[in-house]
């Protein structure tokens, strides 16, 4: 079964057209399917429109969150409530065309775990969409071996198993394929169409570049040190500690053998580096304790559902 997961926030005008287009395409596949709309506590009439659509079609599931948790957690709510073995993600804003879904599915059938859309001809404003995306994608190529051209494309398909070890936090939905790749998933790309937003406005701007950069640091850290954070912090710590001790030795030797001075910039540098080094090693130990708890802890929910149909 295929589960299409669509997060919705203030998309009242887009819902009816995207829904009919989805049903048109999905019903041609001759496969079982469900469409899960997660209303992320929209302020407009989206929820009412969704209820109405669901009344006439039992393949639609509507999940309504108790407040605006953001796209990432809305998607996570969809994943948790999906019954399909293949999950397709899509935005509700009509920018992606459901007609591309069969292309994604055939790649999944070829054996890939993740198939990402690639908007070759992207219909978005240059300055506050294409440019930040270009910067983010270049950063990704620099930091990771996985080459994904268009990580920001909302249209993606995943095998359900991918999510057995991944929970989404913050705005992680954008970097999901990277997390999947860390866990060993194979990734394919297919070119997809892209339209400009017919109604409503985008929920993100330049601020996302700042969030994405920090998220990238996190994924990169997880990729390299998820089970051994002490190597990361301890490594830098030992470096500073050694430098600090070296500076200390120089001060002592200079004083004793060459009648030099005690109080000097080098002495303070030595103190500073030894302190920083020890702090970093201690942070590494704390991180070790934290990840041990992390790997053992129960899956606590990060969102709350108000209503489910």
CB of 31 to ligand UDP, least distance (A): 24
Contact flag: residue 150 with Mg ion (CB under 5 A): no
Tell me which of ligand UDP, Mg ion, none is bound by residue 12, counting a contact when its beta carbon lies within the kind-specific cut-off of 5 to 8 angstroms.
Answer: none
CB of 166 to ligand UDP, least distance (A): 19
Tell me which of ligand UDP, Mg ion, none is bound by residue 7, counting a contact when its beta carbon lies within the kind-specific cut-off of 5 to 8 angstroms.
Answer: ligand UDP
Q: Produce one character per residue of 142-169: b if its CB has 16 or more CB atoms within 10 Å, e if not.
A: eebebebbbbbbbbbbbbbebbeebebe
CB of 77 to ligand UDP, least distance (A): 10
Distances (CA, A) of 293 to 30, 218, 227, 290, 297: 45, 18, 11, 5, 6
* Backbone dihedral angles phi then psi of residue 195, each to the nearest 5 degrees: -120, 160
- Bridge partners of residue 39, in order along the sequence: 8, 64
Tell me which of Mg ion, ligand UDP, none is bound by residue 9, counting a contact when its beta carbon lies within the kind-specific cut-off of 5 to 8 angstroms.
Answer: ligand UDP
Taking CB under 5 A as the criterion, the residue among 34, 39, 91, 189 binding Mg ion is 91
Distance between CA atoms of residues 296 and 11, nearest Å:
39
Contact flag: residue 11 with Mg ion (CB under 5 A): no
Report whether 36 contacts 75 (CB < 8 A): no
CB of 69 to ligand UDP, least distance (A): 7
E strands in 193-304: none
Q: Which residues of the shown chain bind ligand UDP in the complex (CB under 6 A)?
A: 7-9, 11, 40, 68, 70-71, 74, 91-93, 95, 202-204
């Amino acid at each position: 079964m295929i589960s299409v997961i669509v997060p919705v926030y203030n998309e009242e005008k887009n819902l009816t057209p995207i829904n009919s287009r989805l049903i048109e395409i999905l019903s041609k596949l001759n496969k079982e399917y469900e469409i899960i709309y997660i209303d992320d506590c929209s302020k407009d009439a989206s929820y009412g429109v969704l209820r109405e659509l669901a009344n006439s079609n039992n393949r639609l599931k509507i999940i309504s969150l108790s407040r605006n948790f953001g796209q990432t957690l809305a998607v996570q709510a969809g994943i948790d409530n999906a019954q399909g073995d293949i999950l397709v993600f899509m935005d509700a804003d009509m920018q992606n065309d459901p007609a591309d879904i069969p292309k994604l599915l055939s790649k999944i059938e070829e054996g890939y775990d993740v198939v990402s859309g690639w908007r070759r001809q992207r219909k978005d404003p240059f300055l506050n969409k294409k440019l930040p995306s270009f910067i983010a994608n270049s950063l990704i190529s620099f930091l990771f071996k996985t080459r994904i051209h268009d990580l920001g494309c909302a249209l993606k398909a995943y095998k359900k198993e991918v999510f057995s070890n991944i929970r989404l936090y913050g705005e992680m939905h954008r970097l999901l394929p990277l997390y999947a790749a860390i866990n060993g998933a194979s990734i394919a790309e297919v070119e997809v169409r892209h339209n400009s937003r017919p109604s409503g406005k985008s929920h993100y701007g330049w601020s996302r570049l700042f969030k994405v950069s920090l998220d990238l640091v996190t994924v990169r850290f997880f990729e390299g040190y998820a089970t051994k954070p002490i190597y990361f912090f301890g490594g830098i710590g030992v470096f500073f500690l050694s430098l600090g001790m070296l500076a200390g030795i120089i001060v002592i030797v200079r004083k004793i053998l060459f009648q030099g001075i005690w109080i000097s910039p080098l002495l303070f540098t030595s103190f500073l580096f030894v302190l920083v080094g020890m702090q970093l090693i201690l942070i590494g130990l704390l991180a070790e304790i934290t990840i041990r708890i992390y790997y053992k802890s129960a899956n606590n929910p990060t969102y709350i559902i108000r209503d489910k149909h």
